[in-house]
Amino acid sequence: MKQKNPYNPFIANQMPTPLTLGELISYGAIEGSEDAYNDENGFDYSDPDSSLLYYAGKPFTGLYYELYPNGGIELYSKYQDGVLVEDCFEFYENGKIKSYSYISKDRLNSYSCSFNEDGKLILRNCFANGKFEQEKFN
């Protein structure tokens, strides 16, 4: 019998409730654009190989979000010193969650799940303690 990865929080249904646009703004989130490479809001992936996000010439720390043309949230994520950490949500234009990811600050543990446009779970990934697990759902 295959042993389940003990780090997978979805076993306990611990995905956080997504923030609203109002909450993102109240927490000081910064809006970026679809093309974050040197965009008009000051974001820059100065070294694409490092995947660090810069804002105003410094590694970005805080919440970053992008909007659809209709004003709905397309995605939001948290950065610390330019590195993606903790919660990252992507949404469909209809407002339903497209994907959720959690990346630990030490980069050793992460998990994600993807949903279809109706909100049904279709894929779950977990990387913990050097082991990768993936589950697909019909």
CATH code for the structural domain at 19-136: 2.40.128
Q: Can you tell me the distance from the alpha carbon of 63 to that of 98, in angstroms, rounded to the nearest whole number?
A: 18
Tokens of 115: 């949903």
Q: Is the pLDDT of residue 6 over 50?
A: no
128 pLDDT tier (thresholds 50, 70, 90) = confident
Extents of the domains making up the chain: 19-136
Provide the pLDDT for residue 25.
Answer: 94
pLDDT tens, 13-39? 568 899 999 999 999 998 886 544 454
Highest mean pLDDT among 1-5, 49-53, 92-96: 92-96
Q: What is the mean pLDDT of the chain?
A: 80
Q: What share of the chain is helix, strand, coil (3-state, %, to 5)?
A: 5, 40, 50
Nearest to 20, CA basis, from 57, 71, 54 = 71
